[in-house]
Amino acid sequence: MLRYFVPVLALALLAGCSSHSSDGKAGTGTGWNHWVCDSGAEVRWHYVDPSRSVVDLQLGDDDVVHHLEEEPGGSGAFYSDGLIGLSIKGDQGVVYWVESNDLIGRGCKAR
């Protein structure tokens, strides 16, 4: 339970993230959102289905696509695969390593 509480609390304090516009840039196709975080980390993501319950996410130039499923959270939407967490609220987001709770980037948004 604490595993989910800390990220949700952190996300409530930060400006969340969600850009429904697409710049057409992605590792392998179109329809992906390209965000840059305050840390300089680049994130590419898109909704997999119309229900917005699943997100595919790529970090930087990595070829690995993380398949994140929506999980209960506070304000906004929270997605995770147990390795990476993505919180989306408004037009911004937070990305972090779930197990260690290490921040990959916050203030992630289209730039």
| Secondary structure of residue 8 in the 3-state scheme | helix
- Please report where in the chains the tokens 């929270």 appear, as a residue: 78
Q: Domain limits of the chain? A: 2-110
Give residue-wise pLDDT tens across range 30-70. 589 999 999 999 999 999 999 999 999 999 999 999 999 99
Is this model's pTM higher than 0.75 or not? no
CATH 3.30.365.10 matches 2-110 = no
The distance in angstroms from the start CA to the end CA of the chain is 34
Query: Tokens at residue 110, please?
Result: 């289209």
Give the CA diameter of the chain: 37
